[in-house]
Structure 1
Amino acid sequence: MVKDMRKEALVAGALALGLIGLTGCGGSSSGSTADGKTAMTWAMWVGGTEDQKNWEKVADDVSNTLGDVKITLQGSTFQDYFTKMSTQLSSNTAPCLVAVQSLRTAQLKDGMLPLDDLVKKNNLDLSAFDSSMIKGLSADNNLYALPYDVGPVMMFYNKDMFDAAGVPVPKAGWTADEFVAAAKKLTANGKHAIAPNTADLFVESQVLAYNGGRVLKEDGTMDASDPTFAKGLQWVSDLTSKEKVSPELPGGDTAFSANEFMAGNTAMSIDGPWSLLDVKAKAKFKVGVTTLPAGPGGGKTFSAGSGWGISKQCATPDKAFAALKEMTGDKVLGNLAAAGRALAARTAQQTKWIDNAGIPGVAETLKSAEATAVPMPSNTNSDQLGQLFNQYLVKSINGQQSAADVMKDIAAQLPR
């Protein structure tokens, strides 16, 4: 997500590029092709034409390796994916292979096939994967997807803007006070230090790093009325309404912060390693990366990621699991890591991503972030919480309402 998460959030118009919308075609029936192979559809969020080509190559490579299946990609934008997939899983129209983000595991699990028996049957060694992702893609003590990527939420920065302002580039482990001091120097001439972000993973990570406040508790329960989280959110909001180091948010827009950063209008952006190499390739400035600033009682960050599972409607679960093994095997995940598409959930393949990054200090920053990262739990209402954040946080960020009152309004909208 992980995410994948920022990148996919930027592509609201991706369906216009010719991506295939999620439908029931190729779902539970797992029909056959003209040459007798098992036809299998794979639902995945797609971030534009290049992303689509990337995933189509995975589908083709795995199909060729297995020989007796033909996997067809079915793409959707990230922001549409989970609502559509929830509908498909509950209406018997879901494809065999289903992408799952760790934050949304609990939301999709009722329509997913638990993989534990298939893991044992196929002697798959789960210890080869990042342990936080095995936990993140599990719910009710069952594993619902095999992970392909992982990553702690971090801070990207524009080194050119720091140099121009005479501000030392931030080191891993920097504090909230150091962040604010640097932010004030970076905000000038119509530019800001950072733009606000309402994406649930990123704002919750920012608050966790600041004071340890959490809406999603370690056991997966949700408490939107948590006073510590409200205090942390107020600090985040004050960056706009009080400190003036962040611009006002023009309505709920999870892509606003990333877009402002890529345009060179802000010096920093909260993101994850899944986006770093894409940002580096497209940015017209030198990109650096550091940890989220730590405040009193904070210092941690959330980790997240994604994987692929099997819908209960799939008529050929054994063949689907064989596909999953290949899709999350060393070869595929190594290729994705080397291409910068994902920090591989297989830990042995992560050095390929680091080597490809070519950013000074990225390995040290990643190690520091991972040392304090905790898995972000999923909850059946996580998607609704994310939508409410995007809808309501603009009031807190722009100073129209206190963070505590905004969180009360959000809590009132969630199931009790």
Structure 2
Amino acid sequence: MKRRSLGLVAAAAVLVLPLAACSSGGSSGTDADGNTTINWSVWAGSEVETAAWQHLADMVHEEDPTITVKLTTAAWPDYWTKLPTTLAGADAPCIAGLQMARVQQFANYFVPLDDELDAAGIDTADFDSSIITALQADGKQLAIPYDLGPYMVFYDKDAFAAAGLDEPVDGWTIDEFETAAKALTSGGKYGFAATNAIDAMNQWGPTIGGDQAATEDGKLNLTSAGQEKTMEWYASLVSEQGVAAELATDSSDGSQFLSGNAAMYVTGPWDMINVKDQAKFDVGVVTLPVGDAGPGTAVGGSGFGITTKCSTPDVAAKALAIITGKDAQDYLGTQGRAFPARTAEQSTWYASAVDGAQETLESALETGQPYLSTPTWTQDGLSFSQGAISVINGQSDAKSFLESVQSSSGSAG
């Protein structure tokens, strides 16, 4: 399968953060009998996601009864806004989730794993090489991946049938998407669920305007002609075409789609677990429609690393090997929580996903681009989300908004 290396994102300049000192604080602890408790922090957006992570935590204790993993979860946006304080504090977790888009921002808070891999029995050759590289900084492995995947359009098959529409096929066009969205908008329900997250610019930017919200060298790119075109088109879905509901507050969790109030939503393979648990309708997946810049979307991925506050990194490495191991990735794939980063386990996601998902995911990977970000991506994303609602709702113009976010960024080009 041919695809561009996700490692391009790792070329961004590292943001220099205060290096957290080693500590014997709350990250882990060993009792007199040699039993160790490891604190593990990761994001979760639903009860089923939390249950999936807890299952992995339990797997560690089952395989090695001397290790107990204590799980802490937070919603996606909260996890990233609180993480700098969390990692700098006395109660920092021993193991923490790390997404490729934020490797550069948090690099100095994670221990390079290269010396730990052999002892823990982790062979990076077992993983997709692109996401392995994307979780490196300065050539050092900071996290072991559990997933990767491109953005796709999840859609309500029942709504398409009720509107008398043929289901979309991979390679469909923006015109076909807009036509379908208009036909699906009726009776208080909408054709598409929009979001005010900066992710939308990387989801749609490659095909609408031909670029993403960041450049390959880690500079914010919101004032490019391509990003302005992408933002104007995206906002038009709400403010002009009326095929997506106006946004009142943060809208990035897919609830409109899962509740049946929007017929299409853009997300990744990691959300299959929530679709299977919450959607009360027949779900299909299809590639993002093709715009003027040709087919393409961003491809992301995540993993887990050992923090610099961990006082028992050798034990944490053993736990890390289990939660990113074959059995764990088989489980995550089967549950639909991850398209496994371990290549031999990727078939588990295909087997459990909705019909047609394998062909769509493989097609999206063929034209996918590495998810590009800045070393200040969390703050850039927060600045974007705070002002994007007024643009999407037609209350302010895209150009001025994008210029404002760009000028306030510490990673402006």
TM-score normalised by the chain length of structure 1:
0.88
Q: Which residue is 1:321 aligned to?
A: 317
Question: Shift of the alpha carbon at 1:336?
Answer: 1.7
Query: Structure 2: which amino acid aligns with 1:181?
Result: T
Query: Structure 1: which amino acid aligns with 2:327?
Result: K
Deviations 1:232-290 (A, max 9, x none): 111111111222222221233323xx222122222101111111242133212110000
Q: Which residue is 1:375 aligned to?
A: 370
Distance in 2, Cα, partners of 1:298 & 1:30 = 49
Q: Which residue is 1:102 aligned to?
A: 100
Q: Which residue is 2:85 aligned to?
A: 87
Q: Which residue is 2:396 aligned to?
A: 401
Question: Shift of the alpha carbon at 1:109?
Answer: 1.1
Question: Shift of the alpha carbon at 1:35?
Answer: 3.5
1:294 to 280, 290, 296: 290
Q: Which residue is 2:149 aligned to?
A: 151
Report if aligned partners of 1:45, 1:78 keep a CA contact under 8 Å in 2.
yes
Q: Which residue is 1:40 aligned to?
A: 38
The 5-angstrom pairing of residues 2-401 of structure 1 reads 27=25, 30-33=28-31, 35-119=33-117, 124-255=122-253, 258-357=254-353, 359-401=354-396
Report if aligned partners of 1:150, 1:306 keep a CA contact under 8 Å in 2.
yes
Question: Shift of the alpha carbon at 1:69?
Answer: 2.1
Query: Structure 2: which amino acid aligns with 1:118?
Result: E
Query: Structure 1: which amino acid aligns with 2:272?
Result: L
Report if aligned partners of 2:153, 2:288 keep a CA contact under 8 Å in 1.
yes
Q: 1:51 to 1:145 in 2, by over 3 A?
A: same
Distance in 1, Cα, partners of 2:54 & 2:255 = 27
Q: Which residue is 1:414 aligned to?
A: 409
Question: Shift of the alpha carbon at 1:132?
Answer: 2.8
Q: 1:85 to 1:180 in 2, by over 3 A?
A: same
Query: Structure 1: which amino acid aligns with 2:222?
Result: A
When structure 1 is superposed on structure 2, of 193-202 and 303-312 the one drifting more is 193-202
RMSD (Å) for aligned C-alpha atoms: 2.2
Report if aligned partners of 2:269, 2:336 keep a CA contact under 8 Å in 1.
no
Query: Structure 1: which amino acid aligns with 2:51?
Result: K
What secondary structure does 1:117 align onto?
coil
Deviations 1:308-357 (A, max 9, x none): 10011212222211221111111111112112222211121111111112
What secondary structure does 1:253 align onto?
coil
Distance in 2, Cα, partners of 1:252 & 1:339 = 27
What secondary structure does 1:205 align onto?
helix
What secondary structure does 1:360 align onto?
coil
TM-score normalised by the chain length of structure 2:
0.88
Question: Shift of the alpha carbon at 1:229?
Answer: 0.7
Question: Shift of the alpha carbon at 1:222?
Answer: 2.1
Distance in 2, Cα, partners of 1:133 & 1:125 = 14
Distance in 2, Cα, partners of 1:341 & 1:26 = 33
Distance in 2, Cα, partners of 1:263 & 1:164 = 17
Q: 1:365 to 1:28 in 2, by over 3 A?
A: same
Query: Structure 1: which amino acid aligns with 2:361?
Result: L
Distance in 2, Cα, partners of 1:25 & 1:166 = 62
Q: 1:51 to 1:188 in 2, by over 3 A?
A: closer
When structure 1 is superposed on structure 2, of 275-284 and 261-270 the one drifting more is 275-284
Distance in 1, Cα, partners of 2:178 & 2:356 = 22
Q: 1:226 to 1:401 in 2, by over 3 A?
A: same
Query: Structure 2: which amino acid aligns with 1:268?
Result: M
When structure 1 is superposed on structure 2, of 186-195 and 25-34 the one drifting more is 25-34
Distance in 2, Cα, partners of 1:123 & 1:226 = 45
What secondary structure does 2:29 align onto?
coil
Q: 1:83 to 1:188 in 2, by over 3 A?
A: closer
Query: Structure 2: which amino acid aligns with 1:127?
Result: A
What secondary structure does 1:371 align onto?
helix
What secondary structure does 1:219 align onto?
coil
Deviations 1:72-91 (A, max 9, x none): 11222322112222113234
Query: Structure 1: which amino acid aligns with 2:347?
Result: T
When structure 1 is superposed on structure 2, of 359-368 and 84-93 the one drifting more is 84-93
In the alignment, structure 1 segments of 5+ residues that lack a partner are 1-23
Report if aligned partners of 1:151, 1:343 keep a CA contact under 8 Å in 2.
yes
Query: Structure 1: which amino acid aligns with 2:400?
Result: D
Query: Structure 1: which amino acid aligns with 2:264?
Result: M
Deviations 1:98-156 (A, max 9, x none): 11122222221111111123235656321221223213322232221101111111100
Query: Structure 2: which amino acid aligns with 1:305?
Result: G
Distance in 1, Cα, partners of 2:27 & 2:377 = 30
Report if aligned partners of 1:310, 1:317 keep a CA contact under 8 Å in 2.
yes
Distance in 2, Cα, partners of 1:278 & 1:379 = 29
Report if aligned partners of 1:396, 1:406 keep a CA contact under 8 Å in 2.
yes
What secondary structure does 2:219 align onto?
coil
What secondary structure does 1:407 align onto?
helix
When structure 1 is superposed on structure 2, of 322-331 and 131-140 the one drifting more is 131-140
Query: Structure 1: which amino acid aligns with 2:84?
Result: S
